[in-house]
Structure 1
Amino acid sequence: MNKPELLVTPTSVEDIERLAKAGADAFVIGEQKFGLRLAGEFNRNEVKEAIEIAHRLKKKVYVAMNAIFHNDKVDELTDYLAFLHEVKPDAVVFGDPAVLMAAKEVAPNLKLQWSTETTATNWFTCNYWGRKGASRAILARELSLDSVIDTKEKTEVEIEVQIHGMTCMFQSKRMLIGNYFRYQGKNLKIEQYGMDESLYLYDPERDNRYPIFEDENGTHIMSPNDVCMIDELDELIDAEVDSLKIDGVLKSSYYLETIVALYRKAIDTYVEDEDKYFEMKDELYREVQKVQPKNRDLDTGFFFKETVY
C-alpha cells in the first residue's frame, strides 16, 4: 500500500520546519499576485528561503500560480517563472493556460500541477491537462468520495484531494466589501491579504457564518464549516490518492502544527495497521475537535453528499 503525500499550506517561512517535523511531506506557498487563497504571503526571498529549508529537510515545495490572470498580469508571468526556474520548487500549481504557455518558454523543466478548483470534476479533463504537461490534477472540492475514487482509477496523472480545512464557495474579482463600505461613506482598510477574521456573511435560516475576505484577487466567501476526514481516510488511501491536502487559510500556526501531527499519525497508522487505525480514529477526531475554533464546525464536505450547483 502506497503512503499518500501529506500536503499543507503554511502561514509563513517560520512554519516550514515546524510543520515538517510534525509530519508534513510538502507545502504550497506563493504570493497573492499569482496564487489564490494562500494561508500566508511569501515574497520572492521567502519563497527561496522556504524551498531551501524544505529541501534540506527532504520535503517538497509547490508554488501557486493559480490566480485568474487578465491581460495586465500576463507579462509578469514569464519573469516570475524565470525566478522559479532559478530557485527550483518541486512544482508550480496553475489553472490558467497562460502559465503553461509561459512555462514552456522560460522554464520547460518545471513540473506543473493543474488546479482550477471548480472544473477538475472528471478524469477525462484531468488527462487532457496531463497530456498538455501537467503531472498532477487537483480535484474540485465538490466531488463525492466515489467520484474521487473513480477519477483516480482512470487518470494518467497524480491526484490531489483536500481532506481538511475551509473551502471556497465564491470568488469575484471585484472588491465587494471595500466597495460596499465606500458606498456607505466609510473607509475600510483592506489589509494585504485581507485576513480579517471578524468579517462574515450570516445565514439566519441555517445559522451559518461564512468567512469573507479580500486580497489582490478580489473577494472570497468561504465555507461555514471545515472539512475533516481524519476518521474517513481508509478509502482514499486504499484508492492510492497521491496527495492529501490540509488547507491553512485563516488558521494559526499552532492549529496547523497540531492538525498535521494528527493526520500524520492517522495515515501512518492505517498504512501500517488498519485495525489499529479503526480502533483509534474516533479519538483522533476528538483531538481535532479540541483545537477546532468554536465558530467552525467540522463536516465531511461533499464526500458523502450530493453536490447541488
Structure 2
Amino acid sequence: MTELLVTPKSVEHIEVLIEKGADAFVIGEQKFGLRLAGEFDREAMREAVQLIHEHGKKAYAAVNGIFHNYHLNALEDYIQFLHEIKVDRIIFGDPAVVMYVKAQEQPIPLNWDAETIVTNYFQCNYWGKRGAKRAVLARELSLEEILNIKAHAEVEIEVQVHGMTCMFQSKRMLLGNYYTFQDRQMKIQRQDSGKDLLLYDEERENQYPVFEDYNGTHIMSPNDICLIEELDPLLEAGIDSLKIDGVLHSEEYINVCTEQYREAIDLYQEDPEAYEDEKFMLVDPIEAIQPEHRPFDEGFLFKHTVY
C-alpha cells in the first residue's frame, strides 16, 4: 500500500489530517529539520507521536539539517530523545545522524533525504546498507528517472507529489543581515503571520516566496507541484510514499490536498480505470483555494533539468 505522507502545522492539525486520510507525518524542530510546515518543540513532539500512534499512523522526525561541529552535542541529545518517544523514522541528510542513531540500543530506521543529490539508485542502496530504509528522491527527477530508481532500489522510495520546493538555501540570514546593514529592524515571520515575502521576477512574472528560520534563508519555487492527475505510473510502479509538502501553506490548504490525494490513491487502488476517468475532477477543490500567484505545474516529471 502506498503511503500518503503530510506535513502538519501543529498537534491539533494532526488530528484533522488523520480524519482526512493521512498515513504518516513529518514533524520536528526547525533547528534540526529543514523547512518544516510547523514547529514542534519536545513537548509537542511527545504529544504528537502519542496521538499518531494511537491512530495506527507513522511519525517521522525531521533531522535533515546541515550540522556543524558546534551542533553535535545538541544533535546527539535530540537523537536520544527521539528514541525515548519512539518515532517511527528519522529523516537525515548528514552522516552524523547515522552515527548517533547506530549508537542506540535499538536504532530507529532512517529515511535518507539529502535534497537535490538523491538522483540515482546506487546512492539509495549505499545508504540502505548503512541503516536507511527509504530514500527521498530529488524533486528535479523526471518520471523515467524515478521509475528506473524504483526498479533498482533496495530501499523504499518517496516522491513529492504536491507543494512548493526549495530552489536556494543559504546558512546566512541574508534578509536580516541586509536590513541590519540599513539600520532597519526586520522581524522574520512565517506564513501564518499573514505577511508573505516574495521576490518578484518581472520578466517572467514569477513570485518566489522567501523566509528565514534557524537554518538560514530559503527561496522557494514560484509554482506548486501538483501530480494528482499523474499518479498512475507512480502507483503502478509501487512508489512507497507520496508526500504533500505544506510548507508556507495554510492548514485549510493542506487539509484539502490531503483529502483529495487520499481519494485519488484509494480510487486507483480500487479500480485504476475509475481513477483514469475521475482524476481530472479531483484537482478542482485544490484549484479553488490555490493562491492566484502560484500556478500548478508537474515539476520535472516530464522534463529534464537544465543547468
TM-score range, shorter chain: over 0.9
Matches within 5 A, 1:89-238: 89-106=87-104, 108-191=106-189, 197-238=195-236
For 2:54, the equivalent position in structure 1 comes to 56
Instruction: Tell me by how many angstroms 1:200 deviates.
Output: 1.1
CA distance in 1, matches of 2:6, 2:21: 10
Task: Kindly indicate whether residue 298 of structure 2 is the aligned counterpart of residue 300 of structure 1.
Answer: yes
Q: CA deviation at 1:198?
A: 2.1
**How far apart in 1 are the matches of 2:190 and 2:206?**
26
Cα distance in 2, alignment partners of residues 39 and 103 from structure 1 = 24
1:307 aligns to what SS in structure 2? coil
Q: Aligned runs of 1:27-106 on 2, under 5 Å?
A: 27-106=25-104
* Aligned residue in 2 for 1:277: 275
SS at match of 2:103: helix
d(CA) in 1 for partners of 2:105, 2:89: 11
Q: Counterpart of 1:25 in structure 2: which amino acid?
A: D
Match of 1:11 among 9, 14, 26: 9
Identity within the alignment, %: 57
Aligned residues of 2:190 and 2:248 also touching (Cα < 8 A):
no
Q: Distance in 1 between matches of 2:123 and 2:7?
A: 25
**d(CA) in 2 for partners of 1:291 and 1:57?**
29
2:254 aligned with 1:256: yes
Give CA-to-partner distance per residue, 1:43-101, whole Å, 9 cap, x none: 00101111100111110000000000011101111111111111000000000000000
Q: Secondary structure at the match of 1:80?
A: helix
Q: CA deviation at 1:275?
A: 1.3
Contact 1:197 1:211 in 2 (8 A): no
Q: Structure 2 length as normaliser, TM-score? A: 0.97
Q: 1:194 to 1:69 in 2, by over 3 A?
A: farther
Q: Shift of residue 37 of structure 1?
A: 0.2
Does the 8 Å CA contact 2:189/2:195 hold for their aligned counterparts?
no
Deviation at 1:279, TM superposition (A): 1.2
Q: Give the Cα–Cα distance (whole angstroms) in 2 for the partners of residues 165 and 265 of structure 1.
A: 18
Separation in 1, partners of 2:193, 2:127:
32
Assess if the C-alpha contact under 8 Å between 1:123 and 1:151 holds in 2. yes
1:14-57 Cα shifts (integer Å, max 9, x gaps)? 11111011010000000001000000000001011111001111
CA contact (8 A) 2:223 2:294 kept: yes
SS of the residue aligned with 1:113? strand
Over residues 203-261 of structure 1, what are the superposed CA-to-partner deviations in whole Å (9 max), with x where a residue is unaligned? 11110000000000000000000000000000000010000000010111111111100
Between 241-250 and 269-278, report the one with greater CA deviation.
269-278
Superposed CA RMSD: 1.4
User: Structure 2: how far apart are the matches of 1:169 and 1:279?
Assistant: 34
Q: Secondary structure at the match of 1:61?
A: strand
Paired residue secondary structure (1:78): helix
Q: Compute the displacement of 1:109 (Å).
A: 2.1
Secondary structure of the residue aligned to 2:140 is coil
